[in-house]
Amino acid sequence: MSSACPICGKPAQAEARPFCSKRCADVDLQRWLSDRYVVPGGQDDEENPPSTDFDN
């Protein structure tokens, strides 16, 4: 059973899996790089940002 490409829906190809082609893989990468896709963070991320004090 082959899976469908998450970008265009065509059958995935082994050399570009889970995509059908390098083009669809590049489209996906561009979406991540342009912040179209976002992994949500917890509320702690906003309330307690990481320290930027590097003088230890």
Residue 29 known to bind ligand? no
The model's pTM is: 0.64
- Span 10-22, average pLDDT: 96
Tell me if 4 is assigned to a ligand binding site.
no
For the chain, give every domain's residue range: 1-36
Q: Which residue has the tokens 């561009």?
A: 30
Distances 37 to 12, 18, 21, 31 between C-alpha atoms, Å: 21, 17, 20, 6
Task: Compute the mean pLDDT over every residue in the chain, rounded to the nearest whole number.
Answer: 85
When pLDDT is cut at 50, 70 and 90, the band that residue 14 belongs to is very high
Residue 51 annotated as binding site: no
